[in-house]
Amino acid sequence: MQVIASRRSVLSGVSMVGASFLLGRRGGAAEKVRLRLSTVATPTDQRCRALEEVFAPAVSAFAIYEPHYNGTLFKQATELEAIARGNLEMAITSAQELATFFPEFSVFTAGYVHRDAAHQVRVFNDPLMQPFKEKAEKELGVKLLTVMYLGRRQLNLRTDKKIRTPDDLAGVKLRMPPTDAWQFLGKALGANPVPMAFTEVYTALQTGAIDAQDNPLPTVKDSKFYEVTKQIVLTSHLVDLNYLAFSKKVWDRLTPEQQKITQKAADDAAELARQRQLALEAELVQFFKEKGLEVYEPDVAAFRARVQKAYLDSPYAKSWPPGILERINAL
């Protein structure tokens, strides 16, 4: 308060509105904007490492980046509401979480829609994404700053029964993240989906509370799920992504120059993480085999057919803007 009080006395000639405007523009020399990020990811996850190595220094002239990992600040799937309420500035969110507020985001959660990391970037930067971004900004106060590559999701089981087709997943308790769009994907794969936060998965696998989880290979390594599982079934059922969510209120208080720096910092961090995740995906099959896990391809066509049919027949598909799938496929 001392800083504000002294600056206000200096500004005494300026109308209160003017003073509050100037004080509100956090880009002021003395005051840096505090950017708290909440994520359930670990500090060693590639997306988190890249944000610390690239994003934080790039914005440090006017902002203090303050990451909170392992869901210690906000529980998984509560971050968007925290940003909307002004209690948080940044999050690593997902189309699955946004779909809770705006069903049409489920088109980006449908299995086998995104083809690869580069396709995700083309989709995110295409005009087709504009209405989605605007809706999140207007109705939630969340700006989707950039797209992050999470990786191809694979099935990871603690049981050793061979999984070839979706029928082999009947009755398998497959943990999925805690939103409806995720539960739907678990069911579409043929399993019995169990909603559970990411931070509880390791112990649930260890104790047998669940039979399986699904995540990309880099996550299986980073969170050491391979220590408590026996096999990885390479379904690649979702080329998964996250969005770096940023408070619109905070964004609007940055100067145009600061906004440009922030946007570039986010894109550069996302690109560094993307390259690291891709490199890990290329080498981790060997790593898991050496750790004694069975790693193999199932009948991917059978999984693809079942998942795509489930989505096309679903209420989700009715929320998709007409022609959106064709536009995504054309990119």
Where along the sequence are the contacts to ligand KDO (CB under 6 A)?
Answer: 39-41, 45, 92, 94, 177, 198, 215, 219, 242
Q: Cβ distance 120 to 114 under 8 Å?
A: yes
Dihedral sign for Cα 43, 48, 49, 53, please: negative
Minimum CB–partner distance for residue 176 and ligand KDO (Å): 7
**Closer CB to ligand KDO, 65 or 198, in the complex:** 198
**Closer CB to ligand KDO, 42 or 263, in the complex:** 42
Q: Cβ distance 22 to 255 under 8 Å?
A: no
Minimum CB–partner distance for residue 175 and ligand KDO (Å): 8
* DSSP bridge partners of 13: none
> What is the distance between the alpha carbons of residues 241 and 121, in angstroms, rounded to a whole number?
10
User: What are the strands, taking DSSP E only, across the chain?
Assistant: 33-38, 63-68, 90-93, 142-157, 173-176, 192-195, 212-215, 231-247, 294-296
Dihedral sign for Cα 150, 152, 155, 156, please: negative
**Closer CB to ligand KDO, 111 or 254, in the complex:** 111
Minimum CB–partner distance for residue 3 and ligand KDO (Å): 36
Minimum CB–partner distance for residue 34 and ligand KDO (Å): 22
Residue 204: phi and psi, rounded to 5, are: -65, -35
**Closer CB to ligand KDO, 26 or 75, in the complex:** 75
Q: Cβ distance 246 to 15 under 8 Å?
A: no
Q: Is 91 helix (H, G, I), strand (E, B) or coil?
A: strand
Minimum CB–partner distance for residue 218 and ligand KDO (Å): 9
DSSP letter for 78, please: -
**Closer CB to ligand KDO, 92 or 232, in the complex:** 92
**Closer CB to ligand KDO, 238 or 254, in the complex:** 238
Minimum CB–partner distance for residue 214 and ligand KDO (Å): 7
> What is the distance between the alpha carbons of residues 240 and 94, in angstroms, rounded to a whole number?
9
Minimum CB–partner distance for residue 163 and ligand KDO (Å): 18
**Closer CB to ligand KDO, 223 or 258, in the complex:** 223
